[in-house]
Structure formats: C-alpha cells, structure tokens
C-alpha cells in the first residue's frame, strides 16, 4: 500500500500516508478482524481501482459508503475502506489493545521496543519481535517462564510449533505468552472408522454368500 506504513492503538501516523480519518472496528466473534481506513480519494480514482488496491470488492465499498453507483465517487472525499487485520495474543488490559495491524504493514509498540508485522502468508497471525537491534535503549524480551527463548523465537518438536508471542505491555513490563500450534496432518481416526465399517460389511457379505453352503453342511452332518 503506497505511503502507508503503520498503525498504533487506533492512531495512524499521518506522515506515512494521506490519512485524515481512521476508525477501528472489531467484527463479531468468529469473523476476521477489520480495521476501517479513511482514504482520501485522489482525483481520477475509481471505485474499482481502490477496491483492487486494498483487496476488497466494489460492492463492499459502495455499501459501506452509501454510494448508489461508482459514478457517485468524488475527489477529496473520505472513503471508508475495510482492511483485514491480523489476530494477536494482545491482552485487553494492555496499553496498546486492540493492536490491529493490516496486511502488509508493520507497527512499533511498547515504547518502540517491539516491532509487529502482519502478513496474510502467516495465516493472519501477528508476528512480533524485539526491536532492540534498532532501538539500543530496549532489551531483548525473554518469553515468560522460558529459558533462552525470546519474543519472536520459534521452535519445532516433531510437527508441533511453539512461538513466543507478544501479549501487550504495561508501565513496568512487556508481556509475552507461549503460543503452541500443531502442524501435524489431520487425524486419521475418521479414516480408521471407515476402514472398520468396510471390514464389517465385507465380513457380513462373505457370511451371506457362505450361508447356503453352511446349511448344506449342517443337513449332511445331521
């Protein structure tokens, strides 16, 4: 996104882009997080072009902005553009809650000691790391309860992954949490159950085929 670089606690850095209005809205539970971006429409723009630029649809922009048709778009108007944001582990007691960062952007938070970025390729999960290499006044953040494991570190055990995730900050500390995710293939229990049913059906079928023969054997033995 040209000219856009960061958002922190609902406030955009106007030095990064043509931002006049910004509003944060969290969607209903279970739906993607969305940040509503106040976009100043340049002369010569089209609804289709803006929708393509911000990975949304023409109909969504028309509906959000109460536009009857694309021809109603006016230069210098402020257009409500929804941007999908990454989910995070930031606690609701943190000073930067809610920390919503749109796809393809980054933000410095926790007094500029933590850098978080959002990429759709990372399953829409916010990725954060210590910015101690950039800001010498900041120290690396050790993951809570973990020795030699720091904010942003990831390790694997088999097909299980653990990550030291950012959980917010308060006046004294930067908070972390251990995020555990499984990358193991889906359980094959359903497949095994299906195999058992197939075996049972085949067994019944074989018994039905053999039943006349068994009857003749029984009559002969009598």
Nearest to 89 by CA among 180, 1, 172, 153: 180
Predicted pLDDT at 197: 60
Q: Which helix (H) or strand (E) holds 108?
A: strand 105-109
Predicted pLDDT at 20: 35
Q: Which helix (H) or strand (E) holds 138?
A: none
**Length of the chain, please?**
222
**pLDDT tens-digit profile of 147-166?**
889 999 999 988 888 899 99
Give the C-alpha separation, 5 to 63, whole Å. Answer: 27
SS3 of the chain: the string is CCCCCCEECCEECHHHCCEEEEEEECCCCCCCEEEEEEEECCCCCCHHHHHHHCCCCHHHHHHHCCCCCHHHCCCCCEEEEEEEECECCCCCCCCCCCCCCECCEEEEECCCCEEEEECHHHCCECEEEECCCCCCCCCCCECCCCCCCECCCEEEECCEEEEEEEEEECCCCEEEEEEEEECCCCCCHHHHHHHHHHHHHHHHHHHHHHHHHHHHHHHHHC
pTM of the model: 0.64
**pLDDT tens-digit profile of 45-73?**
999 999 998 888 999 999 999 999 999 99
**pLDDT tens-digit profile of 68-123?**
999 999 999 999 998 888 999 999 999 999 888 988 889 999 999 999 999 988 88
Q: Decide: 168 and 91 in contact? Cβ < 8 Å.
A: yes
């Amino acid at each position: 996104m040209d000219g856009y670089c960061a958002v922190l606690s609902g406030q955009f850095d106007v030095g990064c882009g043509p931002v006049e209005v910004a509003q944060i809205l969290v969607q209903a539970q279970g739906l993607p997080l969305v940040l509503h971006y106040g976009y100043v429409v340049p002369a010569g723009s089209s609804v289709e072009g803006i929708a393509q630029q911000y990975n949304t649809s023409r109909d969504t922009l028309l509906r959000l902005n109460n536009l009857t048709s694309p021809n109603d778009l006016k230069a210098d108007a402020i257009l409500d553009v929804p941007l999908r944001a990454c989910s995070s582990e930031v606690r609701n007691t943190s000073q930067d809650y809610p920390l919503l960062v749109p796809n393809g952007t980054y933000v410095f938070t926790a007094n500029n000691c933590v850098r978080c970025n959002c990429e759709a390729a990372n399953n829409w999960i916010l990725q954060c790391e210590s910015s101690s290499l950039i800001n010498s006044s900041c120290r690396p953040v050790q993951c809570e309860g973990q020795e030699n494991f720091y904010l942003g570190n990831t390790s694997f055990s088999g097909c299980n992954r653990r990550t030291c995730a950012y959980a917010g900050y308060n006046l004294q500390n930067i908070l972390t949490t251990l995020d555990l995710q499984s990358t193991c293939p889906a359980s094959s229990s359903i497949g095994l159950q299906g195999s058992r049913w197939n075996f049972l059906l085949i067994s019944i079928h074989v018994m039905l085929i053999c039943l006349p023969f068994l009857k003749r054997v029984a009559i002969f033995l009598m």
